[in-house]
Amino acid sequence: MSPTTLEPGRDDEHRAGPLFWISAAVGWAVIAWGLRGIFEHSLDTRPANLARFVVGGALLHDLIIAPLIIGAGVLLARAVPGRARAVVQGALAVSGIVALFSYPLVRGFGLAANNPTSLPHNYAAGLLVVLGGVWAVAAAIAVVRLRTA
């Protein structure tokens, strides 16, 4: 460690370089372009509904989903044998991500009465098939790991 003292919270060795600032500017430009598209096509994007969905999703995650996942992780660490724990954790993570991304489809958001092909499939059944596949693979891997212990 160098003999010079630094200000609290300041690290001269890891300062933001030009690549950081260029990528930050590009990122903000992409965000601005997306926001412009939301408001320019407001008939299709419904900005108020979109804002409610984004803010509601963030609150739902922070106040309900994340604490439940943490609690499930604690219970999982106590209930599942060590060699199968990572497999079950992975299956839970994949299940949560798949369920989250399929939620708008299962709920029928975007369904248009004048367009019967807008959501043409039974997405709830599809979700169950995918989750069944995830857990079948996870179970097979866990059994192999537990038997080779």
Reported as a single tens digit per residue, the pLDDT across 106-137 is 998 888 888 888 888 999 999 999 999 999 99
Residues 115 and 126: beta-carbon distance below 8 Å: no
Predicted TM-score of the model (pTM):
0.62
With a cut of 90, say whether residue 70 has pLDDT above it: no
Question: SS3 letters for 74-94?
Answer: HHHHHHCCHHHHHHHHHHHHH
Mean pLDDT calculated for residue range 43-53: 91
Return all residues near 142 (Cβ < 8 A) that are at least 6 apart: 83, 84, 87, 88
pLDDT range class, residue 10, cuts 50, 70, 90: low
With a cut of 60, say whether residue 3 has pLDDT above it: no
**CA-based torsion, 127, 129, 134, 139: positive or negative:** positive
With a cut of 60, say whether residue 5 has pLDDT above it: no
For the record, the structure tokens of 8 come out as 């609290």
Helix/strand/coil percent split, the chain, to 5: 75, 0, 20
Query: Tell me, what DSSP letter sits at residue 118?
Result: S
With a cut of 80, say whether residue 16 has pLDDT above it: yes
Q: Output the pLDDT for position 28.
A: 98
How far apart are alpha carbons 145 and 139 in whole angstroms?
A: 10
How far apart are alpha carbons 26 and 21 in whole angstroms?
A: 9
pLDDT range class, residue 14, cuts 50, 70, 90: confident
Mean pLDDT calculated for residue range 58-85: 90
Closest by alpha carbon to 84, among 5, 138, 6?
Answer: 138
Mean pLDDT calculated for residue range 34-56: 93
Q: Round the average pLDDT of the chain to a whole number and report it.
A: 89
Residues 83 and 146: beta-carbon distance below 8 Å: yes
Phi first, then psi, for residue 105 (nearest 5°) are: -75, -45
**Domains of the chain, residue spans:** 31-79, 81-149
Q: Output the pLDDT for position 106.
A: 94
